[in-house]
Structure 1
């Protein structure tokens, strides 16, 4: 019972609570974007899905604004904004990755096979350039790797891509929304 109370107390911090709620919303909206592409008969994985990163950016900015206005009483430290940004981004990517994984595993497995076929076609289309840059052996290895890709790799692929893409936007958003009380540095009687 004490262990459970300590876990609840840990997750009851406003910084983490706000970040996780906005991350959950981000993940669900990204999945809805995925479904929108699916229902428009566009392959919802790969290059078409990359536009969902705008959802991440909007909700990271929204989380920083919300925390600054309602929790920080108008103030937001840089480290708080960076924490919010990375938690929202990572948790949102995890939620979206799992939802997409469940969709391509149980609802419509053809989405994943179409995605793999599209990736292989793109690789063959640019084979001459790829072979020139990385060599025939490496191209063959990469091409075969696409064919052996598992559905479960979608989850970590989502997280890793979103983490790399988010570095600069999170820093910029954090700098924009940061507002500190510098009165502590002045000598006040």
Structure 2
């Protein structure tokens, strides 16, 4: 048990988990804000919450470099921080949204499915031209059979794909290494 506690007692992991927790909560607050002003908070309207992820990943890298790394941050540390913050934030937001649409207001999920179907029907001619009639009908039927439990993994998978380039860029921007080999230290 002590080895497990020692493993999780690393500053890079503790900091990333904390920033990920805050990210998930902020994304859920964004979801609630959309819900409060009467916008369907799932789907296309929710994409803007990725900005919260980017800001929190940059903040975590900056904080780690300043407070833990004493001005240094290796690329692998930035990548680790970015992916942990992003994944934990997406998991927490996904579960909070799942509980909301399951126990508080199931109508949000129903409205989301209706909106997805109408969007697909609006772009039907383009979709059929690109993927074919059979594939379009399969996708359309899959939207109708979507379960609330798919929200969590949908959130994680979308955020993971969306975060690849921003995490790399943020890690490169905040990267600063000690190049002691090239310096004359006497």
Query: TM-score, normalised on structure 1?
Result: 0.96
Note the residue ranges of structure 1 that are not aligned, 5 or more in a row: none
- State the 1:185 CA deviation: 4.2
Query: Which portions of structure 1, spanning 4 or more consecutive aligned residues, are displaced by more than 4 angstroms?
Result: none
For the residue of structure 2 that corresponds to 1:129, the secondary structure is helix
Q: Deviations over 1:29-73 (max 9, x none)?
A: 000000000000000000000000000000000000000000001
Q: Match of 2:174? A: 177
Match of 2:39 among 21, 38, 42: 42
Per-residue CA deviations over 1:86-132 (Å, capped at 9, x if unaligned) read 00001100000000000000000000000000000000111111111
- Any idea what SS the aligned residue of 1:179 has? coil
Shift of 1:6: 1.8
Report the alpha carbon displacement of residue 184 of structure 1 after superposing the two structures with TM. Answer: 3.3
Output aligned runs, 1:30-179, within 5 Å.
30-179=27-176
Distance of 2:130 and 2:62 partners within structure 1: 44
The Cα RMSD (Å) is 0.9
Alpha-carbon distance, 1:186 to partner:
4.1
Q: Indicate the SS of the match to 1:124.
A: helix
The SS at the match of 1:149 is coil
1:7 positional shift: 1.6
